[in-house]
């Protein structure tokens, strides 16, 4: 799999090498237009379809550092904004990742934002309109965002529930970009590049994934992702036979149901018959 050289300082990552990303439509143009007006962006799409890689690629293009926050249900506003810490005999303020990005003019990427509590996500609202500011109540100040600051969020609409979804008042503050698994020819090129695998096996993986994704209607909660195909391809290159690579990289992580696992295995066995 490709590696990207980067420097990290104070939570800010600056990418030196271009993260590989294969455009599918005009997503690069849309993001560049949003960046030009410093509009916040929302990336929507299933797990492993390339949202994070796209964001890293755009940060590289724009030569901007990235601050990434993996959101979860215990994430508090203090985790984002900052808190007072005791150091020796002193109480000192420590900026959170969002505040660091606001001050430095970085891209702040809130990954899987629906996992965060609603009372946490409201802290980003003043950064998503004409104010472009971040109130820090504990300090009694309001920070105006650096001119190059940009806010990007992502989530998987497939996991939306009544309890886990963004409020419409939050969604409407963002430019929305929909992602999905790429067309077969594009996905094949991605798997070849990222896994370092030959075209024949990459095409077989992608074709099998196309069939496997139909099992979502039979109870599979998450379908085969492009990321999983890359992992399987990388394991093949490392010496595992095709079916074993597909089993440990794709099937086992996807389901604990023996019947669904067997159905997936049958699909991959069809495309890698020499291993069956």
Of 101, 41, 109, give the one whose Cα is nearest residue 70: 109
Return the exposure string of 19-56: e unless at least 16 CB atoms fall within 10 Å of the residue's CB, then b. Answer: bebbebeebeeebeebbeeeebbbbbbbebbbbbbbbb
Would you state the pLDDT for residue 116? 87
Q: Could you list the pLDDT tens digit for every one of the 276 residues in the chain?
A: 555 555 667 778 888 889 999 999 999 999 999 999 999 999 999 989 999 999 999 999 999 999 999 999 899 999 999 999 998 888 999 999 999 999 999 999 999 998 888 878 889 999 999 999 999 999 999 999 999 999 999 998 876 554 567 888 889 999 999 999 999 999 999 999 999 999 999 999 999 999 999 887 666 777 899 999 999 999 999 999 999 999 999 999 998 999 999 999 999 999 998 754
For domain 6-178, the CATH superfamily is P-loop containing nucleotide triphosphate hydrolases (3.40.50.300)
CB count within 10 Å of CB 258 equals 8
Would you state the pLDDT for residue 159? 61
Cβ contacts of 156 within 8 Å, gap of 6 or more: 44, 45, 46, 47, 112, 114
- Beta carbons of 206 and 187 less than 8 angstroms apart: yes
* Tokens (6 digits) for 69: 């926050």
pTM for the model stands at: 0.88
Phi/psi region, residue 222 (left: phi>0; alpha: psi -120 to 50; beta: rest), is beta
* Tokens (6 digits) for 253: 């992580």
Would you state the pLDDT for residue 162? 45
Is 226 buried (19+), middle (13-18) or exposed (0-12) by CB count in 10 A? buried
Interior CA angle at 153 toward 151 and 157, to 5°?
160
Would you state the pLDDT for residue 276? 46
Would you state the pLDDT for residue 6? 56
Each domain of the chain, given as residue ranges in start order, spans 6-178, 184-275
């Amino acid at each position: 799999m490709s590696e990207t050289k980067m420097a990290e300082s104070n939570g800010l990552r600056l990418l030196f090498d271009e993260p590989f990303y294969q455009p599918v439509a005009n997503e690069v143009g849309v993001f560049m237009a949003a960046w030009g007006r410093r509009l916040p962006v929302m990336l929507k799409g299933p797990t492993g379809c390339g949202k994070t890689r796209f964001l890293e690629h755009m940060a590289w293009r724009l030569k901007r550092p990235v601050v990434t926050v993996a959101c979860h249900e215990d994430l508090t506003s203090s985790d984002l904004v900052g808190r007072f810490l005791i150091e020796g005999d002193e109480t000192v303020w420590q900026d959170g990742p969002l505040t660091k990005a606001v001050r430095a003019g970085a891209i702040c990427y809130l990954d899987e934002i629906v996992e965060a509590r609603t009372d946490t996500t409201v802290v980003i609202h003043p950064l998503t309109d004409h104010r472009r500011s971040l109130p820090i109540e504990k300090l009694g100040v309001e920070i105006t965002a650096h001119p190059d600051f940009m806010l990007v969020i992502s989530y998987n609409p497939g996991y939306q529930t009544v309890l886990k979804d963004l409020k419409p008042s939050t969604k409407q503050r963002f430019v929305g970009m929909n992602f999905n698994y790429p067309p077969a020819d594009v996905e094949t090129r991605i798997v070849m590049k990222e896994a370092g695998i030959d075209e024949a096996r990459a095409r077989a993986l992608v074709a099998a994934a196309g069939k496997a994704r139909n099992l979502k209607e039979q109870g599979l909660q998450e379908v085969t992702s492009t990321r999983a195909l890359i992992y399987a391809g990388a394991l093949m290159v490392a010496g595992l036979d095709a079916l074993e690579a597909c089993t440990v990289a794709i099937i086992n992580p996807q389901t604990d149901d023996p019947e669904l696992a067997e159905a997936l295995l049958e699909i991959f066995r069809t495309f890698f018959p020499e291993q069956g």
